[in-house]
Amino acid sequence: MPAERVGVVGATGAVGSRLLSILEERGFPVEEIRPFASERSQGKLVEFQGRSFSCQVLRSGCFNGLSFVFFDASDEISKEWVPEALRSGAWVVDNSAVYRLDDAVPLIVPEVNEADLVASIRVGRRLFAGPNCSTVQLVVALRTIHELAGIRRVVVSTYQSVSGAGTAAMDELREQVGSDAAAAIFPHRIAFNLIPRIGKVQADGFTSEEQKLMRESRKILGIPELKIVATAVRVPTLISHAESVFVEIEKELPLERLRDAWRQVTGLSVLDEPENDVYPMNDNTAGRDGVAVGRLRRDPSVNHGLCFWVVSDNLRKGAALNAVQIAECIRKTAGT
């Protein structure tokens, strides 16, 4: 297969910069790399395969000749520029929220629903969406439970790091630790604080982040009627999101059987020896690939229920790594 000519929109951002390094780490075959950023970064250099590349701004025709374009900028940029990338003939992997719930756009976590990607390629689709970071890790863990015991209901609370809001939010937390710097990105100071609102508050009282988690999980798992309720909380950590999850299931599922099944899932690790202080945390997931689960136990408050804790690097598996894996699946399926 020939090497690819790759565009990265948002190449200077928290996700885009990791996407460049993950392409390199995984040996994604790249013949040309074209990084895009805002006017603020025009001419700024980004490193790829030991060489420096100058960031360009988006303009008409800027995607010509590219075979893949990754979007890691913002909803507004994706809305405006994804159509142009598709017109240029590229495969497009979009990490914004714009197309995720569009019936014509597959929303993909390869470990969970690669089959949807394959089916979409067969009917000529060229645009693929990556989910919200908190959704990715949840569905990777839930898929096995659904296969083994059928999920009835999910209750999830998130503990989301500031990098979920981008590079500027990471800078804001760093600055506030040890100073009385005021809040700018977040509605309140985030240092030594928890903020129980991520995204806009909707008419039903949920936030947009909570709605994404609920709706995207239903789509990726292919369970449109899934009962799921979420509370999303911003916490003062830099990288990795954690989630406390309660799952009601159709029938009894021995805990060791689930741990064994989870161990078979590529990209999922079981860190579950709490008595030895082995469990997933920000410290042992940030900067690493995959999703980690632990603290698995039976929920005694329902007939058949489980509780567990799941953590993943939101910038890697939650965004950049997942996008690269989507591109790898496209290449494998379409034989590009």
Ligand X SMILES: NC(=O)c1ccc[n+]([C@@H]2O[C@H](COP(=O)([O-])OP(=O)(O)OC[C@H]3O[C@@H](n4cnc5c(N)ncnc54)[C@H](OP(=O)(O)O)[C@@H]3O)[C@@H](O)[C@H]2O)c1
**Beta bridge partners of residue 298, listed in sequence order:** 306
Query: Within 10 Å of residue 99's Cβ, how many Cβ atoms?
Result: 21
Nearest Cα to Cα of residue 96 among 323, 328, 335, 333: 323
DSSP readout, 196-240? ---SPBPTTS-BHHHHHHHHHHHHHHT-TT-EEEEEEEE-S-SS-
- Residues 154, 137: Cα–Cα separation, whole Å: 14
Q: Which is nearer to ligand X, 72 or 272 (CB)?
A: 72
| Least distance to ligand X, CB of residue 329, Å | 18
| Least distance to ligand X, CB of residue 50, Å | 21
Q: Which is nearer to ligand X, 208 or 333 (CB)?
A: 208
Degrees to nearest 5, angle at CA 93 with 87 and 99:
80
Q: Which is nearer to ligand X, 12 or 211 (CB)?
A: 12
| Least distance to ligand X, CB of residue 321, Å | 11
329 is catalytic: no
Q: Out of 55, 241, 307, 329, pick the active-site residue.
A: 241
Q: Which is nearer to ligand X, 66 or 258 (CB)?
A: 66
Q: Taking CB positions, which residue lies at the least distance from ligand X?
A: 13
> Residues in the site for ligand X, rule: CB under 6 A?
9-16, 36-38, 40-41, 58, 72-74, 77, 95-96, 132-133, 163-164, 166-168, 314-315, 318-319
Q: Which is nearer to ligand X, 132 or 158 (CB)?
A: 132
| Least distance to ligand X, CB of residue 298, Å | 32
Query: Within 10 Å of residue 160's Cβ, how many Cβ atoms?
Result: 24
* Amino acid at the residue 123: V
Nearest Cα to Cα of residue 11 among 59, 50, 52: 52
Q: How far apart are the first and last CA of the chain?
A: 6
241 is catalytic: yes
Q: In what order do the strands lie in the sheet with 151-160?
A: 227-234, 151-160, 241-249, 305-312, 291-298, 268-270
| Least distance to ligand X, CB of residue 177, Å | 19
Q: Out of 55, 62, 133, 146, pick the active-site residue.
A: 133
Which positions are catalytic?
133, 241
